[in-house]
Structures are given as C-alpha cells and as structure tokens.
Amino acid sequence: MLPWGWVFLWLLGRQRTGGLSTAGCPTKKLLWTYSPGKEEEFVLFCHISGPWRSCFSHENQCSPTQSPKALPCRHQGDLAEVRWYRQHGDVGPLEEIAGGHPHITPNESMLYFRTPELAEPGTYICRARLRSAPRVDVPCCFKTVLDVRPQTEAPCNASAPHKQFLLLGTMGSIRCPRLGCQADSHRPEVTWYQNGKVLSGEKSDSILVDDIYDYHQGTYVCDYALSPNASSWIARAVVHVRTIVADTKFKPDIVYPTQDVLEVELGKPLTLHCAVRFGFQRDFNPVIRWYIKDADREWGFPTFQEKSIKSTFEEEVIECVVFLKEVTWRELGCKFVCFAQNSVGNVTQTIRLKEKRGGVLLYVLLGTASTLVGLLAAGVLVYTYWIEILLLCQIYQSKDETLGDKKEFDAFVSYAKQCASGSEAPSHVSEERLALNLFPEVLENKYGFTLCLLDRDVAPGGVYAEDIVNAIKKSRRGIFILSPNYINGPQVFELQAAVNLALSDQMLKLILIKFSSFQEPESLPPVVKKALRVLPTITWRGLKSVPSSSRFWAQVRYHMPMRHPRGRVGRWLGAILQTFSLERTRWIRNCCNELTV
Ligand SMILES: *[C@@H]1O[C@H](CO)[C@@H](O)[C@H](O)[C@H]1NC(C)=O
Ligand SMILES: *[C@@H]1O[C@H](CO)[C@@H](O)[C@H](O)[C@H]1NC(C)=O
Ligand SMILES: *[C@@H]1O[C@H](CO)[C@@H](O)[C@H](O)[C@H]1NC(C)=O
Ligand SMILES: *[C@@H]1O[C@H](CO)[C@@H](O)[C@H](O)[C@H]1NC(C)=O
C-alpha cells in the first residue's frame, strides 16, 4: 500500500513542476542602471513573503511542541530548495539557470549577475520547493522583471562607489550609489538588505554605523522606487562593504628565508621558498619575486608558484616558490635574492648556496673507521690463527713429501730419560711422558704420523751411536725435547748428530721443543749452539699444552711432514676446502704459495 502512495505523491510533485503557472507569482520590476566600463554587480532575491513565507522552513520554524499540520510552520530539515528560471517573452517556456552559467550565478535564494554588459533584460522566476514536504498549497514562486540600462547622463560627483570600506573600530556610513545627487526633499524611501536579509530599520539613502565591527562586512543592496506609483520600476544598486584596518605604514616583512646561507647538495633539485608578510593596504599591489645575482649582473627567476598562505584583516602572508632542476657549481657562486615590495617600500633577503659537506665527510669518516676496524679484526684473526692458516695451506697444497723419499719414520723423537723414576705429580707432565705417551697419542693415533722412539722402535743390541744415526737417517723430522736434563745429559749427542745429518740431508728437518728453560753449558759443541739459535722452537706450556687441540700441537703439526689428509680433522678440512668455488681456491692456492715460500 505504502509504495503506491509514494508513487502517487511523486506523480503529483512532477505535475506541479511541469505545469508551473507563473501567473500567481508576486512580481517586482527592477531597474539596473550601470556605469559602462565599471565593475559592478547585481543581485536578485527570491522575495517570497507574506502568505508564501511557509515556502522557507528557516523563516518559519515550528516550535518543538507545534504540529507540522498547523501551517505555515515547518520542521527543521524541510529546507527549501530554490531554483531559478528565465522566461522568454511574457508567456514563453521556462529555462532553468543552472550553476555552470558564465555570467549568472545562483546562490541559495539569490541570483548574482557579474557583468552588466552581458546581463539580459527579461523575466526571472525563482521557485522554492520543500525537499521533504511536497504538499504545498500555495505557489512558492517570485517573478522579477529586470531591465538593464547603461547610465547616459554624466555621473554625479557625490555618487557613492559600489565598493565601500569601513574602518574597524571607528564610525562610518554605507551609502546607496547614485542617490547622493538628488536634493534632500526628493530623496525616496530606501529598502536596505544585507546578505539578502532586509534591514527593516534603515529607510534613508545611507546607513550610519556608530562602531564598526567585522560583521558589518557583506553585500548590501539598496532599493528605491523611481516614482511614487506602486506598480512602477524600482531601482536597485549593490554595494560591497569591506571592514578594514588602517593602511600599513610599513614595508613588507620577509618571514623566511631568514638565514644567509643555504646548504645544498650538488646535482640535486632545489626549491626555494620566500614568505612575505604584507600589512593591510586598501590598494594592495604586492610584489614578490626571486632573482639571481652574480658579480656584475642580475636576472629574474621564473616564479613556480605564488600563493597566499595566511590572510587576516591586518595582514596577508604570501609565499613565492621557485624551482631549480639541478644545483651546479655555477649556482654556488650566485646570490639568490627574494624581493618584496608594497607602496611603502621594498625589502630583500639574499641567500648564498653552500655545498653540503657534512654528509660527505661523515661518510668518509665512517668508511675509514669501518675499514680500520675490519683490518684490525682481520689482523687479530690472522695473528691468532696463523698456524691454523698455514696448516690449512699445507693440507690444501696436498704435496705429499713422504712419497718416494725412502724414509721410514715421520719423526725421530729425542728426549732425556729420567734418572730418578720417582713419583710424578699429576699436575706435571714429565718430558719422558711427553715423548713416550703424548707424542704417540696425538701425532700417531690422532694424526697418523709414524714416530721413531729409540726405546720402542729400535731393537737394542747395535752400537748406540750407529743406531742413533740410522734412526735419524730414516726419519723426516727430528724432534728434540730440550730441558736442563737434556742439554747437560748424554742425549745432546743425538741433537749434534741430527744437526750434522741435516746439513747434508735436505729431507731432514729439525724441530726443537723447549720443555723447560735451561742454560747453555760452555761445553756444548758449537754446531749445537748455532742450531739452538736458528732451528724452529716450540715452547711447551705445561698442562695447557696437553690437549690435542692446543696451539702446541698445532705448531708441531705445522712442522711435521706434509701428507694427504688422513685424520678426521684433515678430512673435515679437505671437505670444507672442496666446497670453495674455483676462484676462491685459486686465490687460496696463490696465497698459500706465497705464505709457504
Ligand atoms: C554563496 O554566497 C556566500 C556568501 O555570500 C558565499 O560564501 C558562497 O561561497 C557562495 N556560494 C557560491 C556557490 O557561490
Ligand atoms: C563635481 O566636480 C567638479 C570638478 O571635478 C566640481 O567643479 C563640482 O563642483 C563638483 N560638484 C559637486 C556637486 O560636488
Ligand atoms: C501608475 O502607473 C500606471 C501604469 O503604469 C498608471 O495607469 C497609473 O495611472 C499610475 N498612477 C499614478 C498615481 O501615477
Ligand atoms: C627599493 O627601494 C629603494 C629605496 O629604499 C629604491 O632605491 C629602489 O629603487 C627600490 N627597488 C626597486 C626595484 O623598486
């Protein structure tokens, strides 16, 4: 049921719009006399009044307890929508004036004419329609017959302008243009409007204002009858009133830039902003621009954008923006000047562009610092793991020097036998235990070397000296565990024999283990004395050196003959190295060759 009701109402509404009768509309005849060539505006009101006031909800609102049926009051929200039409001829069709018209602008219940020369005389009709209450029994319309004529007689001196200014806080008056020339006795009664609302108290040709406030600003309209005949034409004039402060006595004031130097990056685009505060002036002709100046000339800089960024009664701040695509060395030598001027005078602010160095310097410093730290870390690593690196190189090089040298042992171990085979403190490792237990345990069992221990591997029975020489000859290395016992005991002969053999045998190399410190006895053979000075020496550091992962064993292994990786660790290292890329291995090979040269 309900939808059909709405359709009926809609049809009814449509019918009313389509069949608009303009006959019942109240009519006013308005005359616009304009001064040719001058800027002037005109405005039409939708004067729906009297019994038609109910067309406008805001003019006649219901009190909260009132029923909307008790017309002519309206509820809030029933706002009227005003449409303007132009009628061709007296009974011609209506043409709606929409927003996009170039010279006529409908604004709420008013219609503005911007250009007198282009205003068409004729009949203008406004209609008010309530958005939510279509059933209005009265024609909500108003008809204006407009005549537009240029002023033919010479303008009178006393005629008031269409733009008038009121100084805030003072006393002043708003005068109706063109009326001032008539003699007082002939002056007609005037109806004044401010922003479309009638000022019922004002009937004379000017409005006196005792104390001017900003709400006095606005668009005023004065209407007066051209003859006492009620059906006669009514003349209308529009006055724009602006409340102002007194003109400034000061030059403009540059808000920014305030600095003289601007840091820029070469090659980057640059935007320069200049904001200038201009004091109020009635005839306001602000100038704001940028120009460039070098040693002997100056030239303009095209303004990219100029906009007002703040506007009050007293002042206006205008910003001028210029844009530079790229900062080059040329610009660094120039001065950029922001120039601002009003009728009082001019001001400038000059800035020089400076290359931003801080950033580059910081990068350089950071770069240097991180490189140094990196080098330091690498140095510490290389220092700490030097032996490991060399071992890695040896293993990688995989030159097996044990092949085809006809030697039986990797190392001959020479040590001092303990005379007093007494109790050995658990915190102390004797040199004998080092030679007989730790050396085989680590070098033989863990790393696969073959050791020659005289007591273990040489069958007794031969001549001692001959046995020694033979055993050393069959070994690739001679390891000598030096201590006061050793250096002063009979075993020093083994060292002497080995040195002599090593002088003639390139494949035999000697390693000294400094088990504990000792003093060289005078009686030591000179060849041994020299050997002690030049041969590689590894220091035994007691219990710290016992674990097979200690630096002591790494150093020993470094001096031991090179073989194919045989132990677990060797295989592991080999596997790691195989995963290196070709380039990397080539680099390592070169590096290793250099290290081992
Ligand atoms: C209508 O007039 C008011 C006050 O005169 C103004 O603020 C507003 O911008 C105008 N609207 C249009 C669409 O012109
Ligand atoms: C109008 O101005 C002229 C000169 O500009 C002057 O001679 C004349 O007296 C003025 N008339 C009035 C009514 O002020
Ligand atoms: C008023 O004007 C109308 C026509 O415009 C005329 O018929 C009428 O006589 C006039 N009345 C007076 C008092 O001038
Ligand atoms: C700026 O003002 C000075 C006087 O203060 C004047 O000599 C100069 O010509 C003015 N510059 C411009 C461009 O108007």
- Sorted by where each starts, the structural domains of the chain and their CATH numbers stand as 27-47+76-150 (2.60.40.10), 163-244 (2.60.40.10), 253-355 (2.60.40.10), 401-417+430-563 (3.40.50.10140)
Find the helix or strand (DSSP H, E) in which 388 lies: helix 386-397
Low-confidence ranges of the chain (pLDDT < 70): 1-23, 48-80, 129-139, 155, 180-185, 230, 358-360, 387-388, 390-401, 419-427, 564-597
Residue 21's pLDDT is: 62
Q: Indicate if ligand 1 lies below 6 Å from the C-beta of 101.
A: no
Q: What is the pLDDT of residues 52-78, one digit of tens each?
A: 455 554 445 555 555 444 444 554 444
Residue 19's pLDDT is: 47
Rounded to the nearest whole angstrom, what is the distance from the C-alpha of residue 107 to the centroid of ligand 1? 6
- Please report the DSSP string for 480-495 in residue order: EEE-HHHHHSTTHHHH
- Return the closest-CA partner of residue 90 out of 31, 145, 30, 24: 145
Dist CA 97 CA 91 (whole Å): 17
Dist CA 349 CA 214 (whole Å): 35
Residue 42's pLDDT is: 93
Is there a contact between 236 and 42 (Cβ–Cβ < 8 Å)? yes
Provide the b/e sequence for 147-170 (b: ≥16 CB within 10 Å): ebeeeeeeeeeebbebebebebee
pTM: 0.52
Q: Are strands 537-539 and 509-514 parallel, antiparallel or unpaired?
A: parallel
Rounded to the nearest whole angstrom, what is the distance from the C-alpha of residue 217 to the centroid of ligand 1? 14
Is there a contact between 84 and 43 (Cβ–Cβ < 8 Å)? no
- Return the closest-CA partner of residue 160 out of 238, 51, 246: 238
Residue closest via CA to ligand 4's atom 10 equals 346
End-to-end Cα spacing for the chain? 109
Dist CA 332 CA 445 (whole Å): 76
Rounded to the nearest whole angstrom, what is the distance from the C-alpha of residue 596 to the centroid of ligand 3? 131
Residue 407's pLDDT is: 87
CB within 8 Å of 217: residues ≥ 6 apart? 166, 241, 242, 243
Residue 583's pLDDT is: 46
- Identify the nearest ligand to the CA of 182 by its number: 2
User: Which residues contact ligand 2 via a Cβ below 6 A?
Assistant: 157-158
Residue 332's pLDDT is: 85
Q: Indicate if ligand 4 lies below 6 Å from the C-beta of 343.
A: no
Residue 521's pLDDT is: 87
Is there a contact between 492 and 478 (Cβ–Cβ < 8 Å)? no
Rounded to the nearest whole angstrom, what is the distance from the C-alpha of residue 226 to the centroid of ligand 3? 13
Is there a contact between 45 and 109 (Cβ–Cβ < 8 Å)? yes
Residue closest via CA to ligand 1's atom 4 equals 195
Residues labelled as active-site residues: 494
